[in-house]
Amino acid sequence: MAFKVLFGSDAGLLSVFTIGFIVCMGVFLYIFMRKQMNKEDSKH
């Protein structure tokens, strides 16, 4: 029932895409920051 409402309504789909976007953005920022920190450590 919950999945039917979640994937069947406009608000549910918007919520799924928003959560997915935030998770992807978090993963990207984590990887980006790790690379930047490693680059800074190499300079010193």
| The pLDDT of residue 44 | 63
Instruction: Please check whether residue 10 lies inside any domain of the structure.
Output: no
The structure tokens listed for 6 are 């979640």
Structural domain count, the chain: 1
Instruction: Please check whether residue 29 lies inside any domain of the structure.
Output: yes
Instruction: Please check whether residue 11 lies inside any domain of the structure.
Output: no
| The pLDDT of residue 2 | 85
Amino acid at 6: L
1-44 per-position pLDDT tens digit:
888 988 899 999 999 999 999 999 999 999 999 999 988 777 66
Supply the range of the domain harboring residue 32: 17-44
- Let me know: does 6 contact 12? Beta carbons within 8 Å: yes
Instruction: Please check whether residue 23 lies inside any domain of the structure.
Output: yes
